[in-house]
Amino acid sequence: MADLRLPALRWAEPPDGPVLVLLDQTRLPVEEVELICTDVPGLVAAIQSLAVRGAPVLGLAGAYGVALAAVRGYDVVDAARSLAQARPTAVNLAHGVERALAAYRAVGGDGPAAARAALEAAVALHREDAAASDRMAELGRELLGELLPGGRYRILTHCNTGALVSGGEGTALAVVRAAHRAGELRRLWVDETRPLLQGARLTAYEAARDGMAYTVLADSAAGSLFAAGEVDAVFIGADRIAADGSVANKVGSYPLAVLARHHGVPFVVVAPASTVDLATPDGAAIHIEQRPGHEVTDIAPGVPVAPVGAQAYNPAFDVTPPELVTAIVTELGVVSPVDRGNLSEVCSRSRSAESDSGDGMMKA
Ligand code: MRU
């Protein structure tokens, strides 16, 4: 299981009414503080400030948010709309909201039974996400063995893709963790992930708790690390994968893919099938969130490093084209080579069919 002292998110029912409790990721690694959401505007603010962040857990936050609105008697449709729009790129957020809303509507769209149904949908999604994380870890580790036989791997990762973003151990970091447990990880290279430092703050926090050998680097140092032959593979997560296999992930992922290709290093994306959005045809159609400039011009809230009035370019994500991605690991199988046909074939598998066959690999 994930080695977090406090879970990324949990539902609680104290005497004064149900709440959604978040581990406030804006405060890590300095302090482990929980943020208690009693209403939907509070949860939307937590999502937008990245107190809760990362695609799979955003799906859970969306689903529990609908349940929170339902059990507390708020306007559920309005709540669902504001939750789904809180951040635009991670498709899991809208999926989670839709799933809980559909369950709520399926039993009449009003009253305690409907509220219970929304909550049950959120809990089911939570459980499924943990199971998907376990399966991705297994498949990702197998893939590592195929790509780099006999290896003690030096893996580079970007942003944070661990237990903080998941009901389980995460996506890409779950694979790294599985390799670490098996004694196969030589070093985890952790991109700091400017501007909000999800790598330096959060991935390093998780790696340290797990006792991994890890090193944090400035994002701009990655090139020289590849050139020195110090990177065996890149493993990252995804916020939305378009039907053609284009991958939107934390800004800075695309340059890593270009570097990886130049240096002949595998570039692997690990994401649950729920992150694949077959309704988005290609990378150009993915809506990329633009965040406030102060996140770039200030090194910490209220600590500017650029002249007053400096303009900033601050996309939260970038898009890596499918031809630069070696493989996409989902809980339903591994897509490689990455193209429209292979991606849709893996996504059309049902989870039960996949585990019945015992074969998660899809190679074309
Ligand atoms: O802006 P964030 O911190 O929510 O961005 C998160 C990422 O880009 C992660 O890499 C992505 O959600 C995959 S996490 C499984």
Domain ranges of the chain: 9-128, 131-357
**Which residue, judged by its Cα, is nearest atom 6 of ligand 1?**
54
| 287 to 6, 65, 209: CA distances (angstroms) | 32, 23, 34
CATH class of 9-128: mainly alpha
DSSP letters along 287-330, please? PPPB--THHHHEEETTEE-S-TT-----BSEEEE-GGG-SEEEE
Phi, psi angle pair for 190, to nearest 5°: -110, 105
Give which of 348, 325, 312 is closest to 234, Cα–Cα.
325
Pocket of ligand 1 (CB under 6 A): 50, 53-56, 90, 159, 161, 165, 170-171, 198, 237-239, 249-250, 316
Query: Which whole number is the average pLDDT over 170-178?
Result: 98
Judge contact between 72 and 38, C-beta under 8 A.
yes
More confident residue, 351 or 35: 35
- Lowest-confidence region among 42-46, 148-152, 246-250, 257-261: 148-152
3-state secondary structure of 66: helix
Distance 106 CA to ligand 1 centre (A): 31
The 10s digit of each residue's pLDDT in 136-148 is: 999 999 999 999 9
Distance 104 CA to ligand 1 centre (A): 28
Atom of ligand 1 nearest to the CA of 250: 8
Superfamily of domain 131-357 in the CATH hierarchy: Translation initiation factor eif-2b; domain 2 (3.40.50.10470)
Q: Which two tokens stand for residue 323?
A: 């031809």
Distance 161 CA to ligand 1 centre (A): 7
Query: Which whole number is the average pLDDT over 261-283?
Result: 98
3-state secondary structure of 57: helix
Share of the chain above pLDDT 70, in %: 95
Q: How confident is the model at residue 351 (pLDDT cuts 50, 70, 90)?
A: low
Terminal alpha carbon distance of the chain: 33
- Is-same-fold flag (9-128; 131-357)? no
Give the C-alpha separation, 207 to 202, whole Å: 9
User: Is residue 356 pLDDT above 50, yes or no?
Assistant: no
Give which of 243, 249, 247, 271 is closest to 132, Cα–Cα.
271
Nearest-5° Cα angle at 294, 289 to 299 = 115
User: Is residue 355 pLDDT above 50, yes or no?
Assistant: no
Atom of ligand 1 nearest to the CA of 90: 12
3-state secondary structure of 5: coil
Q: Report, as residue numbers or ranges, the catalytic residues.
A: 239
The 10s digit of each residue's pLDDT in 63-81 is: 999 999 999 999 999 999 9
Judge contact between 129 and 93, C-beta under 8 A.
no
The 10s digit of each residue's pLDDT in 294-341 is: 999 999 888 999 999 999 999 999 999 999 999 999 999 999 999 999
Walk across the sheet containing 240-242 and list its strands.
276-277, 240-242, 247-250, 317-320
Give the C-alpha separation, 266 to 235, whole Å: 8
Report pLDDT for 354: 45
Atom of ligand 1 nearest to the CA of 172: 15
**Which letter does DSSP use for residue 189 in this model?**
E
Q: Where are the alpha helices (DSSP H) in 148-221?
A: 172-181, 204-210
Query: Which whole number is the average pLDDT over 147-157?
Result: 93
**Which residue, judged by its Cα, is nearest atom 10 of ligand 1?**
237
Q: State the pTM of this model.
A: 0.95
Atom of ligand 1 nearest to the CA of 271: 15
Q: How confident is the model at residue 101 (pLDDT cuts 50, 70, 90)?
A: very high
Report pLDDT for 3: 66
Judge contact between 53 and 88, C-beta under 8 A.
no
Q: How confident is the model at residue 364 (pLDDT cuts 50, 70, 90)?
A: very low
Give the C-alpha separation, 48 to 263, whole Å: 36
User: Is residue 2 pLDDT above 90, yes or no?
Assistant: no
Judge contact between 316 and 89, C-beta under 8 A.
yes
Report pLDDT for 33: 96
Report pLDDT for 4: 80
Give which of 361, 356, 325 is closest to 136, Cα–Cα.
361
The 10s digit of each residue's pLDDT in 341-350 is: 999 999 999 7
Query: Which whole number is the average pLDDT over 235-244?
Result: 98
Query: Which whole number is the average pLDDT over 170-187?
Result: 97
Give the C-alpha separation, 296 to 4, whole Å: 29
Give the C-alpha separation, 177 to 174, whole Å: 5
Distance 163 CA to ligand 1 centre (A): 12
Distance 239 CA to ligand 1 centre (A): 6
